[in-house]
Structure 1
């Protein structure tokens, strides 16, 4: 199979947002539509897939809790290194002209403005960056997290009042397209895809 590279500038598309909003599900649903609309292939990177088992092993060795993804210890000693590695993988592909879809919260990186800045990311200056920020009311997100029964949500659910303080809205930016995932609507989703690939 021959990979269809971007003819002019590589694309970096993020599906970001807080836990339980449906980022991974929507990104996988969007992938074939994005390929169809652009005529290009994409390298798909989901933070939970890339670092799930690794981080579980590290946290079990250090705190005896493999499911910890939110405690102060995790946030101070592992969180930023996960994101750094994920961006490094994306950078390597973008420098080769390979489009990338990244899936993960990325809240800190988006709030800082780093994800809008090709120079700060070390990626080609002409890279087209677009971000789908997936919105979901915190109460609905909590219900969905309880239903999915993912052990990595245990700390969030047990310390909910502390966790929700970190659920900040993203900054206003032309690269961000927000999508309310409370009730999935095909028309709204198709518009989201159109907006992401137009950037």
Structure 2
């Protein structure tokens, strides 16, 4: 059995931090090997080079040009890499926003993901308030956040409202505003059991 776990959410919510915190304990609890696939790690340098060539700004990762030409190929490459690991018997933790794919339910579509029925699929939506996310983005001083900070009003309009109703069916929601150790334990149990 393998696990395919997504940590999704907007910038500044702490997706990567949570994934790194839990991956070791997930390996211990399941006895499985896991790999971590973070979209920014896998594609950050490539995107910077591509946007430098296209726009002259290597830190342009949120403009209409990036969203039109690079976003979807990056996500497909990320999923292709995850699928290859799963086929080798290695469980996968994937980190990326994936807001569109949650809203249209593609992340729950095994045929779209290209995974077998015996893969345990979990999708976690990590959230905080917009103010907290903005403060974290400013504090981390990552050059790739420059476009979204400069165009914050435009960016914030793209932030989907918290998934709800049928959009949230099967989604594990995690408030990362000020979580306790018990909250992380509960999240891990939910990932392993599938209970929201």
TM-score (norm 1): 0.92
Q: 2-side partners of 1:46 and 1:172: how far apart?
A: 23
Unaligned runs of 5+ in 1: 1-8
Q: CA deviation at 1:121?
A: 1.1
Indicate the SS of the match to 2:168: coil
Aligned partners of 2:7 and 2:126 also within 8 Å: yes
When the two chains are superposed, the root-mean-square deviation of aligned CA atoms in Å is 1.0
Deviation at 1:104, TM superposition (A): 0.9
Match of 1:172 among 168, 174, 181: 168
Instruction: Give the Cα–Cα distance (whole angstroms) in 2 for the partners of residues 129 and 49 of structure 1.
Output: 22
- Displacement after TM superposition at 1:10 (Å): 1.9
Please, which runs of 5 or more residues in structure 2 have no aligned partner?
A: none
Instruction: Give the SS at the match of 1:68.
Output: coil
Matched, 1:150 2:169: no
Partner of 2:193: 198
2:63 to 62, 65, 71: 71
Deviation at 1:128, TM superposition (A): 1.2
1:66 CA drift (Å) = 0.4
The whole-number CA distance in structure 2 between the counterparts of 1:189 and 1:91 is 26
1:109 aligned to which of 101, 126, 129: 101
Which of 170, 182, 185 aligns to 1:187? It is 182
- Scaled by the length of structure 2, the TM-score of the pair is 0.93
Which residue of 1 is the match for residue 13 of structure 2?
A: 21
Matched, 1:160 2:152: yes
Distance 1:133 1:38 in 2: 22
* Residue-pair matches, total: 190
Q: CA deviation at 1:26?
A: 0.9
CA contact (8 A) 2:51 2:58 kept: yes
SS at match of 1:45: strand
Could you list the structure 1 runs, at least 4 aligned residues long, displaced by more than 2 angstroms after superposition. Answer: none
The Cα offsets for residues 152-183 of structure 1, whole Å up to 9 and x where unpaired, read as 11111111111111111232112x21111111
